[in-house]
């Protein structure tokens, strides 16, 4: 049973985490959601690991103190693969991360040739190697790391018109792999990428399955909230703030372009504040 005042903090470096908002609203329609974007330091894929860890801890800690969420979703692959242990050691509420959806991709793929589309940091992490070894050992996984696609998504959601050729250029390195014509599945291992899935599918028409983590994240959040409601429905901290409804927080809020403001509104965030 879901508590009526469930409050979820969803964090990403930019707009990428919006790709899971619809899944969360479907699974937890009564919950209020705070969307936190560290747009002042975007993109995370370009940061050194130590800088990224310290930055996420700082920004998320500030938002938790302000919002008092019941659960935190780190909707960023670059951050999740590095920062989750640090956050979980510091905070008592459940913290859900996002990892490349390699396991479901391996189950879906018929040809057993899979494209892995992510940021360069995620592509190179030991955690990604472990996922492939654990769940896709029978597959050929073709990796492509790109920060450019993240930038294209940010530009699109800010209202810019992006030509299909720009997406094709980003994806072109896939074609350099000799097994690429056999690929039937691509893992969208950055939360930004599902926001342009239609464009990617147009650029790569032979790909049958596009797999991301949005639905799995929402199911995990629902499971955790149901468990909490069952086990500790009367133990919610008396100092917790009453959620004020859906809100977006930006670390750089000096001037939000009208098109970006409309994008947040389209995802249910009428109010945009600075953190």
> Does residue 50 lie in a domain region?
yes
In a domain, 251, yes or no: yes
Same domain, 26 and 160: no
pLDDT at 95: 95
Is 260 part of any domain?
A: yes
Neighbours of 266 (CB within 10 A): 11
Number of compact structural domains in the chain: 2
Q: CATH number for the domain including 25?
A: 3.40.50.1860
In a shared domain, residues 176 and 239? no
pTM of the model: 0.87
* Any domain includes 86: yes
Q: Which of 190, 204, 216, 249 is catalytic?
A: 190
Based on the domain organization, do 106 and 205 belong to the same domain? yes
Query: Could you tell me if residue 94 is inside a domain?
Result: yes
Report if residue 2 sits inside a domain. no
Strand order in the sheet with 185-188: 140-145, 113-118, 185-188, 209-211
- pLDDT for the residue numbered 225: 85
Same domain, 205 and 117: yes
Note whether 77 and 142 are same-domain residues: no
Q: Are residues 85 and 116 in the same domain?
A: no
Nearest 5°: phi and psi at 261? -60, -40
| Interval 24-67: pLDDT, tens | 999 999 899 999 999 888 877 778 889 999 999 999 999 999 99
- Final residue of a structural domain among 211, 227, 253: 211
Is 34 annotated in the active site?
no
198, part of any domain: yes
Which member of 76, 170, 248, 250 is catalytic? 76
Q: Which residues of the chain have pLDDT under 70?
A: 1-5, 230-244
C-alpha dihedral, 220 to 46 to 203 to 169, nearest 10°: -170
Which structural domain range is residue 83 located in? 7-98+214-274
Q: Are residues 187 and 90 in the same domain?
A: no
- pLDDT of amino acid 8: 95
pLDDT value at residue 167: 98
Q: Is 76 a catalytic residue?
A: yes
Asked if 42 contacts 190 with a C-beta cutoff of 8 angstroms, the reply is no
């Amino acid at each position: 049973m879901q508590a009526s005042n469930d409050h979820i903090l969803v964090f990403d470096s930019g707009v990428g985490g919006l790709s899971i908002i619809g899944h969360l609203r479907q699974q937890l329609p009564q919950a209020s959601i705070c969307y936190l974007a560290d747009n002042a330091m975007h993109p995370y894929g370009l940061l050194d690991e130590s800088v990224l860890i310290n930055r996420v801890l700082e920004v998320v800690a500030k938002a938790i103190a302000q919002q008092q969420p019941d659960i935190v979703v780190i909707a960023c692959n670059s951050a999740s693969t590095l920062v989750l242990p640090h956050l979980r050691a510091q905070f008592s509420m459940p913290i859900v991360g996002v990892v490349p959806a390699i396991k479901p991709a391996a189950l879906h793929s018929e040809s057993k040739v899979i494209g892995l589309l992510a940021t360069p940091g995620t592509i190179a992490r030991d955690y990604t190697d472990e996922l492939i070894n654990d769940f896709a050992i029978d597959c050929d996984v073709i990796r492509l790391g790109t920060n450019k696609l993240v930038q294209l998504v940010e530009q699109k959601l800010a209202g810019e018109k992006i030509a299909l050729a720009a997406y094709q250029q980003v994806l072109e390195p896939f074609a350099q792999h000799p097994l690429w014509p056999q690929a039937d599945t691509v893992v969208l291992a950055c939360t930004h990428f599902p926001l342009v899935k239609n464009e990617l599918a147009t650029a790569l028409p032979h790909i049958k399955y596009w797999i991301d983590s949005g639905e799995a994240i929402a199911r995990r959040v629902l499971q955790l909230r149901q468990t909490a409601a069952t086990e500790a429905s009367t133990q919610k901290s008396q100092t917790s703030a009453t959620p004020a409804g859906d809100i977006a927080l930006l670390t750089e809020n000096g001037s939000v372009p009208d098109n970006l403001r409309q994008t947040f509104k389209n995802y249910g965030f009428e109010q945009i504040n600075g953190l």
